[in-house]
Amino acid sequence: MVTARLGRYNPLFLLACGLILMLLKAEGGYVGITYLKSAVAKGAVCLDGSPPAYHLDKGYGTGVNSWLVHLEGGGWCNNVTTCVTRKNNHLGSSKKMASVIAFSGILGNHRDLNPDFYNWNRVKIRYCDGSSFTGDVQAVDPATNLHFRGARVWLAVIEDLLAKGMRNAENAILSGCSAGGLATILHCDSFKALLPMGTNVKCVSDAGYFINVKDVSGARHVQTYFNQIVALHGSAKNLPPACTSKMRPGLCFFPQYLIADIRTPLFLVNAAYDSWQIKNILAPGVADPHGDWDGCKINIKNCSPHQLTAMQDFRQQFLGALSSAINSSSRGMFIDSCYTHCQTELQETWFMPESPALNKKKISKAVADWFYDKSPFEKIDCPYPCNPTCLNSVFGPEDQPNVPDSGDGHRSKSGCESVKQYCITRSKQRNDRNLRALFLLYNAKCMMFKVRKCNL
């Protein structure tokens, strides 16, 4: 069966295998992991008690004193059961993390693919606490051995980076995707406070603007979910006090209630039809027991007129929740009308010939021009399906969660079967052989991961 499947698409996958080797050279190799063992004594540990970890690719030349610190995404855990599950994988234990990972998109090290940040010190902080780096509970239940210490992990890693040269930073960006994008918003001001005065500090949140709205059943499922996260992890004391002094701590996990008080310049990259939010906030499984939304959530082209109307209404609510973020000269935003989640980490959406664009400007250029004060960028796309540059995600049935417990754009980008068809379709659309090869080059890792995981 496996042989038959591989045979059907043999040329594509053989090419992918060959391009893996090219990829290593094109990206300058993978970036090794650093385990911060000294943090354990401070109680700064992952859910299972293992040390926190990060990957650092050192800067050079004009970027030697510039730092980009990127926070990994990956959802949250809202109760003991979901946290016990997480502590047995890389989202809860550094023992389960890959020792090397590839940097691409905003973390890429090639000038042609990341022209403004390629030679900076680029860091990816691994996510293993399940609370967007906000938890801090001293007690550990011996029955579960769960450690809720996300806030300590955040501080320990930043202090280690400061000791490794970030204290000399002239420029610094805190960025993150999904749960890491939310953490970027929550920690933006504290990041600036930890850096030397005079450092040019700004933050870029990708797919982290989660909104508090009713689902298709009329319930506020996500509000309950966020309340549970904050309570379980003891996050309240580590959320912005300007917010927690005015409302319940659980609400301060929603950026719409705290962004007006953030003083550090902030750029928001988000899809107005964020696929994670559509699947888990607008139409979670608990609100759709008969699975009427399953096909729509897999592929936006499958959505019925009624479902599209609900998604257009979601977009309006999303834009309404953004209103408090707009009235600031230091803000930037790239809000496209794509059906996707996380766009700065993936090379194809960050900076490629066919990357999503607003006003003919790609995400990478918009962020860079804003950071360097070359030109402001605060653009909101027209409604779906108006933008032909969108690269809308296509998912597999196995990617449909019953509760919001997955927030990483890489792992839920597409299902085992759909990734085959997606890569084939996208490559066929590129008549130019160079473009096709470049596309395959930056999807090779994903494809081969799926081959190993799914026996494609």
Catalytic positions, written as ranges: 178, 274, 341
Peptide bond into 401 cis (omega under 30): no
Q: Report the candidate in 224, 201, 227, 199 with the shortest Cα–Cα distance to residue 214.
A: 224
Type of residue numbered 299: N
DSSP H or E stretch at residue 418: helix 416-428
Ranges of H-type helices in 64-178: 80-86, 150-163
Type of residue numbered 387: N
Under DSSP, is residue 24 helix (H, G, I), strand (E, B) or coil? helix
Query: Any bridge partners for residue 270, and if so which?
Result: 335
Cβ distance 182 to 75 under 8 Å? no
Peptide bond into 241 cis (omega under 30): no
| Residue 383 structure tokens | 């409604």
Q: Is residue 301 packed enough to be buried (19+ CB in 10 Å), middle (13-18) or exposed (0-12)? A: exposed
| Residue 416 structure tokens | 């085992």
Which value, to the nearest 10 degrees, does the dihedral of the CA atoms of residues 118, 28, 410, 266 take?
-10
Cβ count within 10 A of residue 385: 15
Cβ distance 377 to 303 under 8 Å? no
Cβ count within 10 A of residue 98: 12
